[in-house]
């Protein structure tokens, strides 16, 4: 009897440990990767961060959270420049409603980071960002890396190879191109950077259009793309 009780207690402990380690289900795991390389001035990095923060404060992003089955997403914000420079600015967090989204926005807004020195190692950033999904405590049917930059990859590993490795792991890569220096970046990102199911490029020509572009991009990603949010609005009529 003592042996049976001991075995039962051991099983319960194992089950409790497994439950504690279980990944939390969400609809999307999203890595937002902003360019902090030498081509980005301090002011430009700050407006990237402010644009992301403003998007999470918006009613549109809060509404997009209602589309998926769990009504929640997991998101982190990182910055990158040359090879091996990617660093987490805001750690992984679950966003399930307007209050969560506002709290995440406040964490972004509180960060004041100078640009990183060095080149634009976009491929290296993708490789490192892809690793951030492992062991993050969340589980989702969709995983996305957002690359936000005003430049092209000029150091580190080949960006197309990094994209292909990420896509092979079931990760989609989207991009937001800031066209303040190179007006051909949209085509470059479309051909060499984005990949995976429903991947897309958005563009911003200035700070005003950047805020709108990042908002529309987030809504499309969270709502699942292809009019997910619009379909819900129509169904509610």
10: in domain:
no
Q: What are the CA-CA distances from residue 57 to residues 79, 95, 100, 106, 108 (Å)?
A: 20, 12, 10, 9, 11
Residue 64 lies in a domain: yes
Judged against a pLDDT cut of 70, whether residue 230 lies above it is answered with no
Is it the case that residue 54 has pLDDT exceeding 60? yes
pLDDT at res. 1:
53
Q: Is residue 9 part of a domain?
A: no
Confidence of residue 38 (pLDDT cuts 50, 70, 90): low
- Is 2 contained in some domain? no
What is the percent of the chain where pLDDT is above 70? 80
Distance CA 171, CA 44 (A): 28
Lowest mean pLDDT among 18-22, 48-52, 187-191: 18-22
CATH number for position 50: 3.40.50.410
Q: Does residue 195 lie in a domain region?
A: yes
* Pairwise pLDDT comparison (92 vs 183), residue with the higher score: 92
Q: Can you give the pTM of this predicted structure?
A: 0.84
Structural domain for 35, as ranges = 24-236
How much of the chain, in percent, has pLDDT values that exceed 90? 64
pLDDT tens digits, one per residue of 84-123: 999 999 999 999 999 999 999 999 988 766 656 678 999 9
Please indicate, yes or no, if residue 84 is contained in any of the structural domains. Answer: yes
Contact call for residues 206 and 64 (beta carbons, < 8 A): no
Number of domains making up the chain: 1
Q: Is residue 7 part of a domain?
A: no
Asked if residue 11 is part of any domain, the answer here is: no
Q: What share of the chain is helix, strand, coil (3-state, %, to 5)?
A: 45, 20, 35
């Amino acid at each position: 009897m003592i042996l049976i009780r001991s075995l039962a207690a051991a099983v319960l402990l194992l089950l409790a440990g497994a439950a504690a380690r279980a990944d939390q289900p969400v609809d999307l795991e999203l890595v937002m990767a902003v360019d902090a390389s030498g081509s980005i001035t301090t002011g430009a990095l700050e407006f990237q961060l402010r644009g992301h923060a403003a998007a999470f404060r918006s009613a549109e992003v809060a509404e997009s959270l209602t589309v998926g089955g769990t009504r929640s997403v997991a998101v982190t914000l990182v910055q990158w420049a040359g090879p091996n420079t990617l660093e987490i600015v805001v750690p992984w967090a679950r966003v399930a409603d307007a209050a969560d989204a506002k709290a995440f926005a406040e964490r972004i807004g509180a960060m004041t980071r100078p640009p990183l020195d060095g080149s634009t190692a976009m491929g290296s950033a993708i490789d490192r960002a892809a690793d951030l999904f492992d062991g993050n405590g969340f589980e989702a049917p969709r995983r996305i890396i957002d690359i936000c930059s005003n430049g092209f990859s000029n150091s580190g590993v080949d960006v197309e190879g990094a994209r292909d490795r990420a896509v092979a792991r079931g990760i989609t890569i989207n991009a937001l191109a800031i066209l303040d220096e190179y007006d051909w970046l949209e085509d470059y990102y479309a051909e060499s950077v984005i990949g995976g199911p429903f991947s897309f490029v958005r563009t911003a020509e200035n700070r005003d259009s950047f805020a709108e572009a990042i908002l529309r991009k987030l809504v499309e990603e969270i709502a699942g793309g292809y009019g997910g949010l619009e379909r819900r609005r129509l169904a509610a009529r």
